[in-house]
Chains A and B, each alone.
Chain A
Amino acid sequence: MILELDGLGHRYDTEQAVDTVSFGIADGELLGLLGPSGCGKTTIVQAIAGHLQPTAGRVRLRGTDVTTDPPESRHVAVVFQQSTLFDHMTVADNVAYGLAADAGTVADFLDLVSLTDQQSAYPAELSGGQQRRAELARALSTDPDVLLLDEPLSALDRALRTEIRAEIGRLQRETGVTTLFVTHDQSDAMALADRLVVMDNGAVAGVGEPRTLYASPPTPFVADFLGRSTTLQATVSDQQPLTLRVDDTRLGFDARRTALPTGTPVTCYLRPSDLRLQPSPELPSLPCEPVDVVDAGRHYDVTVALDTGERLLVESQTQPPVGTATQVGIPQATMSIFPADEGAANDQ
């Protein structure tokens, strides 16, 4: 591991911002640190970069404890959410400012981000995308052991966001720099990261490859935060195969089993895109009635009410008539089940 966090914690006065966070980044890996605003992501970045002294835990770089080392001796580059290009320097001077002795020339790095023609320009003369690329070039020119990208896309509009996201992926592949990509946007994280660390309220809620975390979320929070989800309350009525009871309806999932005892109330996290209205007979299904339909462009967001009064969100390719009784089918593969009290604890 190039970078290891061991029980990292930080407290601002009475507020515990980060609590016992441990994870590592392998050489050349692009790790996504994902979580909602205020979950402690930036505190972790600041602690790794050395701009903040954590109140607990250690930061190790290449096996060396650097927790108390100053930022300038860590070989950790940072790109912040807002531009920190120095206004009084040209683009070339900005890149030259941090250029490591054996990293290459300023021209090499400007070429890497296609800014050769803007080398004499001042930051204020650059577009938002050019500023981001100049910052990436400046960060890479230090030949860092770890590159920290702290919400680098948040201040950009949608089109630019996609462009710079692709640029970050390309730069990371070409340079092989170990990267920690911090974001609150799960689509950015899913698109870029080799592996994800999902944060919730200052603690790690899940670690794994993006697709694995999406398909098999380890906690209700991850299920809720990573992609769209809708929840269904049920009770375990059989373990093998898994059978759930919703009101008087039994749903049998022959390919699933559970360790939860019979009679346990559970919360099922379902993907709205996987739910089916008027499903085929073999799919476990519940009677329902569409109560609201919103045209979301590529699909319709259909809210259906079950007989229990509970509501599910379904992404449908067709527009169902509101108020007409139908069935909602529940595919078993992408359903995640948690004890109901665990899900409630994470409902925020």
Chain B
Amino acid sequence: MKKCSNIAIKNMHIRLLKKNDDLNQIFELCKQNMMIGENYATTYDIWDFQYNKNPLNKSWNSVVEHEEQILGHIGLYPLPLRGPQKFFLAGSISNGVLSESIRNKLLPFKDKKTFSIIPLIDNCASSAFGDGIDIVFVHSTIHPMIWKALKYKNIDVTCKTTYHTGLKGLYQKYHNLLCKKRVIFNGVLGIIFSAILTLTRVLPMTVTRCSHFLTKNSNRDISICKFDVFDNNFKCFFDQFNDANKTLVTYDRNIEYLNWKFSQTQFKKFKININNTLVGYLVLQKNNETNDFDVIDYIILNKHLNETQFIFNQLSLTEGMSISFTHFLSCEYSESIYNELNKQGITLSLNPAHMFSKKQKITKAPIYFKINNMTNSPIMLDERSWFISPIFFTPSYFLRP
């Protein structure tokens, strides 16, 4: 790739991606500028899946160009949303990348000049808005002030994580934690202390699990079965879920989009039946770094929310899974799931005295959206009604090594 250290503004411009553009220039740019490691850079497979093979076969992409060299890119792929009584088509921003050489270069923007990232995002979003996209949605590590400058609204979302595992998984978690953080605990010491810490968790785990088993309704028959494809049997369940949650703004879980989103083989999909009726589903993805499973999506009919503990118990005990669930707390429904799982989930602490502690790390999720002002019917969204799960995020996130 040609190195550009001194670029004159007059030779640099922002435009939409053309069919004959060399995508390798973008992939190379991603490789060189990916802060979390080259392995996480966008590849042709990710690009094709995300931008070409989505259910709309459509995406919006803008680039910064200088003398036929692409030095920046941002993309939007379709994200189906369901709001109060209404379906929206949103565009989700992904793959924002800018060559270091142009990060302090200014380009025209609304009769002024500003940093190229701002007109680049604006160009891409305007193109999608022009095509009738209702909302642009973004979960991004790009500086919050940039979204403020572009008039994006912040969604007030708090993240908390619960872990669900059996004794073996718990022991392994402690062993990894000790050996990673404290080199002194390698070897026999690591085994002894991991066992001690695991035992300190046995009592609270047993108490919560027993109390749940004792209070559960013995008349119901729950089954948790693996499946591969979302078929027509899900339609009735989705209708029931949507009817019971009319005020939520969430991913429009329809068969076409779900089968696209979860078509890759690394997902484990489970459907939850109670008395032979489909009442929920759970999608997990294997996390190669920790050998755990991450929850990508979980919904269950509201009247069965109290079965959530049992479902995660079953998976951690009978399937031997260690499950990590990052909850995006923004609405009553997400808080209900979290509250159920927090009763049963374990907290990892290296201090044995914290055996009953439920203290958790709380972080704010950088999630923003902007509504298309050009649409005929104005969209009003209550920010407390967003129900967000990892299903919202870029499909490329799912294809990581």
A and B from one assembly?
no
Hey, which bits of chain B sit against chain A, CB under 8 A?
none
